[in-house]
Amino acid sequence: DGGITQSPKYLFRKEGQNVTLSCEQNLNHDAMYWYRQDPGQGLRLIYYSQIVNDFQKGDIAEGYSVSREKKESFPLTVTSAQKNPTAFYLCASSIFGGNEQFFGPGTRLTVL
């Protein structure tokens, strides 16, 4: 279903801990994206990367960090600086300049 995977499906974290969400794609897409989904707020962009070793902040980047060392991988770290990290996180990919974004199955993060 799209060749983009996210792990884990569910993640629990204690306050004050950093946690890394995995996103891998085998679609040979150049661009990758991280979104946060909260009830009633749609999809909000955290970070995106159009090419390896380069990425840009989205609208809600504070408290998050990313890396893009490989074309296939775009991990997201939720740091302790993120004040309200409990949410559903979606990763997506597309060809550079392409229209359709293909989404992963998502990771639901809960901070205890």
Partner 1 sequence: GENVEQHPSTLSVQEGDSAVIKCTYSDSASNYFPWYKQELGKRPQLIIDIRSNVGEKKDQRIAVTLNKTAKHFSLHITETQPEDSAVYFCAAGTPNTGNQFYFGTGTSLTVIP
Six token digits for residue 103: 């989404």
Q: Which is nearer to partner 1, 18 or 51 (CB)?
A: 51
CB-hemisphere CA count at 13 Å for 91? 30
Q: Which is nearer to partner 1, 82 or 94 (CB)?
A: 94
**Binding of partner 1 by 74 (CB under 8 A):** no
Q: List phi, psi (to 5°) of 100.
A: -80, 130
Interface positions, 35-54, toward partner 1 (CB under 8 A)? 35, 40-45, 48, 50
Stretch of residues binding partner 1 (CB under 8 A), selected from 14-22, 30-38, 62-70, 72-80: 30-38
CB-hemisphere CA count at 13 Å for 61? 11
Coil vs helix vs strand at 50? strand
* Site residues (vs partner 1, CB under 8 A): 1-2, 31, 33, 35, 40-45, 48, 50, 58-59, 90, 94, 96-101, 103-106
